[in-house]
Structure 1
Amino acid sequence: MERVEKLKKRSEVESKYKWNVEKMYESDEKWEEDFQKAKKLCPELLNYKGKLKNGEVLLEYLNKFVDTSILVENLYVYAHLRNDEDQTNSRYQSILDKIKSYYSEFSSIISFFVPEILTFSKEELDEVIKKVDGLELYRKFLEDILEEKPHVLSDKEEKILASVSNCLDAPYNTFSMLTNADMVFGTIKDEDGKDVELTAGNYSVYIKSKNRDVRKSAFKLLFETYGKFKNTLASTYTAANKNFIFMSKSRNYKSALESSLKPNKIPLEVYHNVVDTVNKNLSVLHKYVALKKKLLKLDEIHMYDLYVPNIDAPKFNISYNEAVDLCVEALNPLGKEYLDIFRSGIKNGWVDVYENKGKRSGAYSSGSYTSMPYVLLNYSNQVNDASTLAHEMGHSIHSYYSRSNQPYIYSDYVLFCAEVASITNECLFMNYLISNEKDKMKKLYLINEELESIRTTVFRQTMFAEFELITHEKIENGESLVSEDLCKIYHDLNQKYFGPEMIVDEEIDMEWARIPHFYSDFYVYQYVTGFAAANSFYSMILNGTEKDVERYKDFLKAGCSDYPINILKKAGVDMATPKPLEDTIERFEKLLEELEKEIQD
């Protein structure tokens, strides 16, 4: 009888494969001491309320705000890391709940700060900064707040908007409850002919099935079920749009799109460039669809055929230590300093490697301003696990550089830049594997994985972004959108994106109804821009000079000391132009040609 490998308890995992959280607090008692310290220090910030027009007092407040923020951040990071090690451990559930509650209290304590800064005129703020040594450091931080002044309302109006914020969240809450709790999909036959319940979670497994009947039945059942609720889902989606448009108008923005992009100084052209550039290059996606149809030996290719792998997955068995060595080789173009940081991170306990009982699933990078970065993995010797190590270490080394080179207030990077370093590492890693793989089937699989990564990130997310743009603009223009309108817009987009070879099944018309990101307006385009910027850096690092590598590291060191478009441009990637995205699509085309060539050889 085959031996079943039992999942280890946390205590049974070797310490060299566990992150060193003790570097933050050597014991829970030390954490508790700092928690009591925070409860004493944070309320002292209220002593500055109403006094910030005095430059000396403003500086004193800002310095204390930084100190207390770092303290509270440390408390939170330690608690969430400990809780994620084993989510069945009630002790760490308790301290995480404790700091989460206090975080809300801390936010309330400092809530007076922004309204007081907004009482300054630009001239008054300039004068105060010039007069008081030390305030220059905070200039951008303060000016960013002041720049929002045209979009901040009177105290009375702000209180009204705050009081209705829960009501404005209702469309998403209803969508979430309906799709996650109330919606039941029924059963399908699996590959063995057994009846299995279809869920939103296991749909991703069955839509990739090599058995076409399985993936077709999963596809039809899922979207037919969504179709039964099409009027409710259209109502929640359009209500969410209207709420966002209402808030945009209330805050004096010209459009919903402007209200989403302007706070980070992202030109509206960036969003339009994404949509326009991909639209001009859809022929390459059509070419991919035609090749997929050929590889799968289909007379017709349908929407439910999109996710089945073109190439059967060969068996990879990459141990964690081998993955570390592969990363070092793949990231070698980034230079000795970068590799030294990577090796040091592996050696000094940045990474929590293996799954154990109760450990949080997935992978992420975390850490505080004064701690080392921390990476959570659930490593299982697959090629995707090795790629995830490269990806998450990209985040962590980005954080390491940023925190080492920026003061606390500029040490975090915004969402527009957040995925760039991680995907750059991923591109370098996959390029190394593809270039050095001798096994033909493994090489084909790796090329196909890269193609799918670009298809699902660049083309799919741009289609989502275009859908959002169309629907918001129609509602802003006073049009009423019902489920039939939304389905038609989505159907037409799928026809345009996937081209003449694709049979666009009517069931796909309801896909808009299951995308939770549509309730975070104009969010998804940043997946595309992040991928495109990363691809440009990947190309510069491999094909450029040492100076190009240094410019990339300057990007890693910049945090949010400038606006994201400026930071990327200084490093050599101008996201206000179509070029980064054009280069990414060109890479997609080259990978497609390489796949065709490998198949023919």
Structure 2
Amino acid sequence: MAKVITRDEQQTENTWDLTTIFESDEAFEQKYKALGERLGEEEKFKGSIDSADSLAEALETEREIDIEVSKLYVYAHLKHDQDTSDDTYSAMESKARTLAVKFSTAWSFLVPEIMNIDESELKSWMEDGRLSEFAFDLEKLNAKRAHVLSDKEEKLMAQAGEVLSGPSSTYGMFNNADLEFPDAVDSEGNEHTLTQGTYIDLLKSPDRELRRSAYENLYAKYGDFKNTLSQTLQGVVNTHVFQAQARGYDSARHHALSNNFIPEKVYDQLVETVNRNLHLMHRYTELRKRLLGLDELRMYDVYVPMVGDIDFEMSYEEAKEWMLKSLEPMGEEYVGIIREGLENRWVDIYENKGKRSGAYSSGTYGTNPFILMNWQDNVNNLFTLTHEFGHSVHSYYSRQNQPSNLSGYSIFVAEVASNFNEALLADYMFKNLEDNRKKLYLLNEQLEGFKGSVFRQTMFAEFEHKIHSMKEAGEPLTAGGLNEIYGELNRKYFGDAVEYDDYIDVEWARIPHFYMNYYVYQYSTGYAAAASLSKQVLEEGSETAERYVREFLKKGSSDYPIEVLKNAGVDMTTSEPVENAMKVFESQLDQFEVLLEETGL
């Protein structure tokens, strides 16, 4: 096993260039001090916003400070993540975060004060040219006016926040800190540590006895606490229902989706369309059963690769070429941005001691994007790099084309650009690889990604809506009832090819997303939108690619997310995008079966 180098041993060209934010740590400290001295500027505006001019001045001042605080925090968190063992940068990140909280608290008066302005008067102010860049933000505030409570009630809701977060905090502490599992045991009697982090890797093992042991040990432990966990889940559902009712929304779902102005029909269309296409998921599980050569396909068999171990090494230099070639359908400008990132040290490439694990894209308004990788020489890292560049190019375009307050984008669309890039990469690799076994490996990964991001997340969305609807109808959420609902959904989605047991019925207790208030459906919609858009670009060519850049990547949050996607060519209020995604999945199944026959597997 190769020795992990220290941060000091990294070659400069393989690290990100943070001097593009601050030339040195000393420059960071100077900015930190200067920004600290701006605390108190907000006092000028409290109780004094009485005209378009005073509102514009307040909003511009807050925006100016926010840009600088964000740069301060991004620099500190990137420095910290490149070596989390360095106390200097741990302290730097901590104090940058603290300063950001201080500013957030200091300016928290602004939205309530705006909401106290008469609606018709505010609308007349919005016609003032100085407020043009803030007009959409003010429009969204006005749209939620009916759900804003009195000052006294809003204060009570804020004070109740810590109490209302109790069930979620309790679950998080139990699930992440207190819950321990017996070791899993393989077919030779060797013990393997079973944790939340190792579970899926154990289920990918070719050793079926190890998979079974991990599966049963994990869910048996959750089963031991099913009554307690049903109460924590009921507690968080109660919180969602209470908050929606207190603010005058029709339901908890109406409240949750209104945060991003997503029509509820989007949720319903997703569930209905996926249900119409469950025959494709059933075809997938039947194929899995046949390829694994099993008399009985169990739930602990649904993660192990359908094709045997395939050596698919990929150096970073090779990966760059694959990525750039695969994205050529997006045009010279798009590819040029990625080249700029590769050549100008946007990417922190290799692992070192203390470096944060995983991968992400970061940055803020006024900086270039930054990508953290922990590169390993395999094709999965190629897909990760391409995924993160999707985020980075999206951020680059939106920051270049929108003012800072409109340059972000909502979680509803956040995964579209990244999954879009992966889809173009997969298509290009499939067409240009000569080794059929490598093609099978890629298709296996694509099928697994679709299963996890569309079918499985939609199943979660059905469960989440069902339990909220039950609570709103006055029905209790008991462990037995939750097991029954979840078990029925699992059987519906995975089909008759699977031999079921009682262990999987308690999987609801393991899923933290059920505590996140109608969050999980967005994995499915984002993946489906990306599949539909990439299919359009590949079939229709440059004009469609230009539309995707112009109407989606450059728009940031300058319009409602559902409208941004619609203008890019995907109307998520209809079934068409999800249907198109299903056609992609079906095509991948077809290709997989053809290749299996050609390779004699």
Q: TM-score range by the shorter chain?
A: over 0.9
1:278 and 2:274 are equivalent in the alignment: yes
The within-5 A match list for 1:54-203 is: 54-130=51-127, 132-190=128-186, 192-203=188-199
2:209 to 207, 210, 213: 213
Q: Is the 8 A contact 1:541 1:548 kept in 2?
A: yes
Q: Equivalents in 1 of 2:188, 2:349: separation in Å?
A: 34
Q: Is the 8 A contact 2:280 2:586 kept in 1?
A: yes
1:537 to 511, 533, 536: 533
Q: Equivalents in 1 of 2:481, 2:534: separation in Å?
A: 41
1:244 and 2:272 are equivalent in the alignment: no
Instruction: Look up the SS of the partner of 2:184 in the other structure.
Output: strand
Q: Equivalents in 1 of 2:441, 2:541: separation in Å?
A: 31
Instruction: Look up the SS of the partner of 1:487 in the other structure.
Output: helix
Structure 2 residue identity aligned to 1:541:
V
Partner of 1:257: 253
Q: Equivalents in 2 of 1:394, 1:199: separation in Å?
A: 31
Partner of 2:22: 25
Comparing 121-130 with 400-409, which one deviates more in the overlay?
Answer: 121-130
Scaled by the length of structure 2, what TM-score is found?
0.98
Structure 2 residue identity aligned to 1:289:
T
The within-5 A match list for 1:364-513 is: 364-513=360-509
| Deviation, structure 1 residue 188 | 2.5
Q: Is the 8 A contact 2:186 2:213 kept in 1?
A: no
Q: Is the 8 A contact 1:117 1:146 kept in 2?
A: no
1:352 and 2:348 are equivalent in the alignment: yes
Instruction: Look up the SS of the partner of 1:365 in the other structure.
Output: strand
Deviations 1:80-112 (A, max 9, x none): 000000000111001111011111111111011
Partner of 1:588: 585
Number of aligned positions between the proteins: 597
Structure 2 residue identity aligned to 1:566:
E
Comparing 403-412 with 501-510, which one deviates more in the overlay?
Answer: 501-510
Specify whether residues 264 and 197 from structure 1 end up closer, same or farther in structure 2 by C-alpha distance, changes over 3 A only: closer
Q: Equivalents in 2 of 1:133, 1:448: separation in Å?
A: 54
Comparing 444-453 with 55-64, which one deviates more in the overlay?
Answer: 55-64
Q: Is the 8 A contact 1:42 1:68 kept in 2?
A: no
Partner of 1:295: 291
| Deviation, structure 1 residue 265 | 1.8
Q: Equivalents in 1 of 2:282, 2:193: separation in Å?
A: 34
Comparing 165-174 with 507-516, which one deviates more in the overlay?
Answer: 165-174
Query: Structure 1 unaligned runs (5+)?
Result: none
Task: Provide the aligned C-alpha RMSD in A.
Answer: 1.0
Partner of 2:548: 552
Structure 2 residue identity aligned to 1:201:
G
Q: Equivalents in 2 of 1:249, 1:569: separation in Å?
A: 31
Deviations 1:480-499 (A, max 9, x none): 12000000000000111111
Instruction: Look up the SS of the partner of 1:521 in the other structure.
Output: coil
Q: Equivalents in 2 of 1:538, 1:143: separation in Å?
A: 32
| Deviation, structure 1 residue 199 | 1.7
Q: Equivalents in 2 of 1:405, 1:191: separation in Å?
A: 58
Deviations 1:129-162 (A, max 9, x none): 33x4311221111121222211111111111111
| Deviation, structure 1 residue 292 | 0.4
Q: Equivalents in 1 of 2:366, 2:535: separation in Å?
A: 33
Q: Equivalents in 1 of 2:365, 2:194: separation in Å?
A: 43
| Deviation, structure 1 residue 313 | 3.0
Instruction: Look up the SS of the partner of 2:361 in the other structure.
Output: strand
1:597 and 2:594 are equivalent in the alignment: yes
Q: Is the 8 A contact 1:494 1:504 kept in 2?
A: no
| Deviation, structure 1 residue 192 | 4.5
Partner of 1:516: 512
Structure 1 residue identity aligned to 2:467:
T
Structure 1 residue ranges (4+ consecutive) displaced by more than 4 angstroms after TM superposition: none
Instruction: Look up the SS of the partner of 1:423 in the other structure.
Output: helix
Deviations 1:278-329 (A, max 9, x none): 1111011111111100000001111111011101231122111111111110
| Deviation, structure 1 residue 212 | 1.1
Structure 2 residue identity aligned to 1:488:
E
The within-5 A match list for 1:5-20 is: 5-20=2-17
Q: Equivalents in 1 of 2:327, 2:463: separation in Å?
A: 37
| Deviation, structure 1 residue 167 | 1.1
Q: Equivalents in 2 of 1:448, 1:283: separation in Å?
A: 18
Q: Equivalents in 2 of 1:204, 1:149: separation in Å?
A: 45
Q: Is the 8 A contact 2:296 2:499 kept in 1?
A: yes
Instruction: Look up the SS of the partner of 2:107 in the other structure.
Output: helix
Q: Is the 8 A contact 1:9 1:356 kept in 2?
A: yes
Q: Equivalents in 2 of 1:187, 1:543: separation in Å?
A: 50
Instruction: Look up the SS of the partner of 1:550 in the other structure.
Output: helix
Instruction: Look up the SS of the partner of 1:225 in the other structure.
Output: helix
Q: Equivalents in 2 of 1:225, 1:413: separation in Å?
A: 39
